């Protein structure tokens, strides 16, 4: 039986007993060699479902399906494409509780975070439904006066989309919605840890009127060879990837062999800078959001907290109280505020980083040791006096650990913030707007939260500088432009 939203509704969120086929050319299939991937509930380690483990042959079939659907989709009127995208938004909103529960089950995030993700993910369809009918070109006279210059924007071609496990719905819709708005057809390869949401959404797209072959979804434990095979097909013209910087680098190398356009949303190491004149409660509220959304498993998560000496003790104590009070538990439990990490390996990495920081002199204000209970839990942790050379100041923690470091001057804060190869997000708290804007322009990052702990918004360009990536998702024209190519026509008449 195939997974779809109605079945989930009827079965009260119990995903056991369902099989989840590869979604290719509008049909549900097993993999060509029949192999399966177990899907694990991170709160218990129990297997909750199995999905097909696609082969190169399956990936080739998915590209073939996307190619077959391409012409018809690009010739579909923008208004019609827009209405289908709008329907995707409406169905996601209607099914938000089901989708949130599914995300929470396979990813482990607290239900309240999962609900937030579904709302955010759905907004990409609403925003791109609105953008789909506003794609315009350019018309001008050549400086020589000999001809006119016409610039048309065309869909780039077949797109391979690769997404991580930390936002199983939003990272997919942030790519699929603008790609479809632009008139492209796609093959999505979601993370094998969280495939159920991607398949549930595929069923929903079909119900919303997305034609067969326009969106194809496949899961695999062998992403390297499958991606190489897809990128080698000359009809594939775009790779849009969200994930770690390491894998992004590998994929840029692979794409370079075929000169394929790449959008890369990669890792982060966000500084969270609090000046003495900040509103303390607002800074603590912001820190809790920036650090603890998805239990710290976010590319925009505050990874390093730099606090000026005058407010340091009050901030550290306030953060300790709030972090220690968080309710830890299985994501789907109604009162959970901090769910488990995605895997045991993720917990071990956090443990290693905390031990390293403590070994270098950091003080544990709360948490600081792996939980005894079953499942992949790490408790909310605050470390103070973390030295700038601690490994966690340079690596993504991707967990509920807040390391605090003291600073004295504005110049020191900017130097600390920029002392990383990453440049995705940064947060600044100050009541002095002039200083806020000055520091915002001094920090090397694609996105700044000034007196805000959350900046993700489909209407704004999301993306990073330095090793955090290439290209932007969302925003006016930015997101769609990643899936279009300019065609210039010189015309004399
Ligand atoms: P990851 O790089 O391990 O995996 C991401 C995706 O790439 C998965 O689907 C995975 O199966 C696939 N993949 C892995 N190796 C591959 C290969 N050789 N060829 C093709 N595909 C391959 O990352 P992750 O652990 O799933 O996600 C966490 C990372 O993602 C963090 O670094 C985080 O900062 C980053 N992230 C970035 C953003 C952003 O917008 N910048 C958003 C979310 C997550």
Residue 372's pLDDT is what?
82
For residue 265, how far is its CA from the centre of ligand 1 (angstroms)? Answer: 9
Residue 371's pLDDT is what?
82
Residue 109's pLDDT is what?
98
| Ligand 1 close to Cβ of residue 244 (< 6 A) | yes
| Ligand 1 close to Cβ of residue 343 (< 6 A) | no
Tell me which residue has its CA closest to atom 41 in ligand 1. Answer: 265
User: Residue 154 catalytic?
Assistant: no
Q: In what order do the strands lie in the sheet with 148-155?
A: 138-141, 148-155, 484-491
For residue 188, what are the β-bridge partners? Answer: 161, 217
**pLDDT per residue over 175-184, tens digit each?**
999 999 999 9
Pocket test for ligand 1, best of 239, 244, 425 (most atoms within 8 A of CB): 244
Residue 13: pLDDT band by 50, 70, 90 thresholds? very low
**pLDDT per residue over 438-484, tens digit each?**
999 999 999 999 999 999 999 999 999 999 999 999 998 899 999 99
For residue 468, how far is its CA from the centre of ligand 1 (angstroms)? Answer: 12
Residue 421: half-sphere exposure toward Cβ, Cα within 13 Å:
10
For residue 324, how far is its CA from the centre of ligand 1 (angstroms)? Answer: 30
**pLDDT per residue over 291-328, tens digit each?**
999 999 999 999 999 999 999 999 999 999 999 999 99
For residue 242, how far is its CA from the centre of ligand 1 (angstroms)? Answer: 5
Q: Is the pLDDT of residue 249 over 60?
A: yes
For residue 260, how far is its CA from the centre of ligand 1 (angstroms)? Answer: 19
- Which candidate, 231, 216, 229, 237, places its Cα nearest to that of 157? 237
Q: Which of these is catalytic: 265, 297, 337, 396?
A: 265
What average pLDDT does range 204-233 have in this prediction?
98
Least confident span in 11-15, 209-213, 307-311:
11-15
For residue 248, which atom of ligand 1 is closest to its CA?
A: 2
| Ligand 1 close to Cβ of residue 225 (< 6 A) | no
Q: DSSP letter string over 411-432?
A: HHHHHHHH-SSEESEEEEE-S-
**pLDDT per residue over 334-392, tens digit each?**
999 999 999 999 999 999 999 999 999 999 999 999 988 889 999 999 999 999 999 99
Q: Is the pLDDT of residue 10 over 90?
A: no
Q: Is the pLDDT of residue 9 over 80?
A: no
Query: pTM of this prediction?
Result: 0.96
Residue 8's pLDDT is what?
39
What average pLDDT does range 9-32 have in this prediction?
69
Q: Is the pLDDT of residue 12 over 70?
A: no
Residue 251: pLDDT band by 50, 70, 90 thresholds? very high
| Ligand 1 close to Cβ of residue 193 (< 6 A) | no
| Ligand 1 close to Cβ of residue 197 (< 6 A) | no
Answer whether 430's CB lies under 8 Å from 451's CB.
Answer: yes
| Residue 37 phi, psi dihedral angles, 5° rounding | -115, 130
Residue 15's pLDDT is what?
53
**pLDDT per residue over 30-70, tens digit each?**
999 999 999 999 999 999 999 999 999 999 999 999 999 99
**pLDDT per residue over 68-94, tens digit each?**
999 999 999 999 999 999 999 999 999
Work out the percent of the chain whose per-residue pLDDT is above 70.
96
Residue 367's pLDDT is what?
98
| Ligand 1 close to Cβ of residue 474 (< 6 A) | no
Answer whether 46's CB lies under 8 Å from 133's CB.
Answer: no
| Ligand 1 close to Cβ of residue 254 (< 6 A) | no
**pLDDT per residue over 193-205, tens digit each?**
999 999 999 999 9
| Ligand 1 close to Cβ of residue 200 (< 6 A) | no
Tell me which residue has its CA closest to atom 36 in ligand 1. Answer: 243
**pLDDT per residue over 113-143, tens digit each?**
999 999 999 999 999 999 999 999 999 999 9
For residue 251, which atom of ligand 1 is closest to its CA?
A: 19
Q: DSSP letter string over 282-331?
A: HHHHHHHHHHHGGGG-STTSEEEEEEEHHHHHHHHHHHHHHHHTPPB--T
What average pLDDT does range 232-260 have in this prediction?
98
Work out the percent of the chain whose per-residue pLDDT is above 90.
94
d(CA 97, CA 241): 27
């Amino acid at each position: 039986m195939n997974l779809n939203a109605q079945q989930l509704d009827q079965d009260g969120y119990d995903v056991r007993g369902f099989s989840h086929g590869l979604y290719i050319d509008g049909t549900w299939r097993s993999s060509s060699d029949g192999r399966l991937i177990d899907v694990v509930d991170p709160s218990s380690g129990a297997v909750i479902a199995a999905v097909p483990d696609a082969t190169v042959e399956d990936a080739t079939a998915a590209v073939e399906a996307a190619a077959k659907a391409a012409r018809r989709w690009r010739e579909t009127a923008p208004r019609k494409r827009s209405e289908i995208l709008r329907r995707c938004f409406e169905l996601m909103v209607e099914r938000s509780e089901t989708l949130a529960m599914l995300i929470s089950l396979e990813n482990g995030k607290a239900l309240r975070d999962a609900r937030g993700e579904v709302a955010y993910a759905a907004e990409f369809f609403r925003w791109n439904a609105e953008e789909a009918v506003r794609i315009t070109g350019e018309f001008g006279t050549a400086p020589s006066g000999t001809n006119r210059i016409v610039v048309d924007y065309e869909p780039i071609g077949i797109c391979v989309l690769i997404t991580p496990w930390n936002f199983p719905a939003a990272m997919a819709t942030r790519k699929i919605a603008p790609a479809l708005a632009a008139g492209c057809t796609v093959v999505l390869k979601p993370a094998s840890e969280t495939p159920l949401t991607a398949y549930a959404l595929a069923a929903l797209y079909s119900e919303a009127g997305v034609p067969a072959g326009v969106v194809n979804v496949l899961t695999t434990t062998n992403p390297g060879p499958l991606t190489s095979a897809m990128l080698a097909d000359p009809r594939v013209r775009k790779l849009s990837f969200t994930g770690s910087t390491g894998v992004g680098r590998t994929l840029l190398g692979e794409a370079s062999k075929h000169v394929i356009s790449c959008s890369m949303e990669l890792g982060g190491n966000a500084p969270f800078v609090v000046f003495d004149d900040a509103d303390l409660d607002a800074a603590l509220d912001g820190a809790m959001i920036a650090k603890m959304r998805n239990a710290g498993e976010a590319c925009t998560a505050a990874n390093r907290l730099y606090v000026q000496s005058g407010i340091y003790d009050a901030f550290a104590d306030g953060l300790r109280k709030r972090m220690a009070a968080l309710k830890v538990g299985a994501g789907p439990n109604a009162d959970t505020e901090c769910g488990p990490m995605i895997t045991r390996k993720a917990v071990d990495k956090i443990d290693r980083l905390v031990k390293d920081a403590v070994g270098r002199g950091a003080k544990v204000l709360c948490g600081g040791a792996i939980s005894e209970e079953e499942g992949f839990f790490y408790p909310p942790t605050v470390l103070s006096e973390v030295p700038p050379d601690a490994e966690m100041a340079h690596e993504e923690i991707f967990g509920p650990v807040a390391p605090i470091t003291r600073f004295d001057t504005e110049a020191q804060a900017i130097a600390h913030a920029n002392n990383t190869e990453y440049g995705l997000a940064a947060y600044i708290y100050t009541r002095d707007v002039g200083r806020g804007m000055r520091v915002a322009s001094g920090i090397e990052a694609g996105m700044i939260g000034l007196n805000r702990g959350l900046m993700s918004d489909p209407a704004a360009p999301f993306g990073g500088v330095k090793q955090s990536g290439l290209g932007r998702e969302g925003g006016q024209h930015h997101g769609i432009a990643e899936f279009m190519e300019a065609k210039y026509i010189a015309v004399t008449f």
